[in-house]
Amino acid sequence: MITTITLNPSVDKRYDIEDFHRNGIFRPKNVERTAGGKGLNVARIVHTLGEPVIASGFLGGENGNFISKELDRLDIENRFIDIKEHTRNCIAILSKNSGQTEILESGPKISKKELNLFLEQYTEMISKTDIICASGSLPENIPSNIYRKLIKIAKKKNIKFILDTSGEALIEGIKEIPYLIKPNKKELEIIEGKRLDNEEDIITSGRRLVNKGIEFVVISLGKKGSIVLKDDKIFRIKVPKVKVRNPVGSGDAMVAGFAVGLRKGYNLKNILSFAASVGTANAMDLGTGTVKLKNINNIMSKVFIEGLK
């Protein structure tokens, strides 16, 4: 079983606008409303890949009801804590001339009672879990060390914990040594407290994290692919060029690929190839956090993995 944690989910609204610019009035060509949040993107893709998954976190209000119904419709088991305040909205505007613009609400306030209920449920829920994927930002008043607490509970049960977040939540989470993290260059610079000017600096930073005990450090470099450090091994991963329809959720798709590859017991290079292919396949779909299996299979044969010293 794979468990996904989304502490700050959202209803994601995507608008496709032909010529988006400031101070305009627009009629989008396409509008999509989905159950969003990074962990929910992971859950959808894990489900598509045929692995059992449970989604958990906090949900409230009409948006929370919408997300719950969407997960039920997709036949994804969900065990969210009901909260008093409303789940947030997030808006993405996609346009050929101006790329991707995002408007992200901060999210609801979680009461101490609601947080304690979640922690109690989490401890019980993960007893049959192999891998936990915790993704995304935190609601306003959740302590920044919450992921650190979740990792500690998981490690006591020998469960692999994948952490994909940023800022203080990432810095705090790293202190408890998760199994896998997926920072980008900017997030690495925040961890290091300084600029990383070249690939050598990035690798040196990644090595420091591996030396702390983190099994996988996956460094996202955008269009340049990614660098992965595992034990004393370093790999550069490059994926083939594809027709990009919607890049939102590609990092979450890659996390899902790692989780599924690990659960299936793939060897190291197959895990890397599979995860990169799942992430790339997401960008080929209009939907956020959606993939087609045929696209994954086509991409896998074209992924380039280079060992670095």
Give catalytic residue positions.
252
Can you give the three-state secondary structure of 235-275, one letter per residue? EEEECCCCCCCCCCCHHHHHHHHHHHHHHHCCCHHHHHHHH
Cα separation of 89 and 149, whole Å?
27
Cβ contact 128:134 at 8 Å: no
**Nearest CA-CA partner of 9 in 91, 81, 116, 107:** 107
Q: Name the 3-class secondary structure at 42.
A: helix
For strand 131-135 and strand 2-6, is the pairing parallel, antiparallel, or unpaired? parallel
Question: Which tokens belong to 288?
Answer: 């956020």
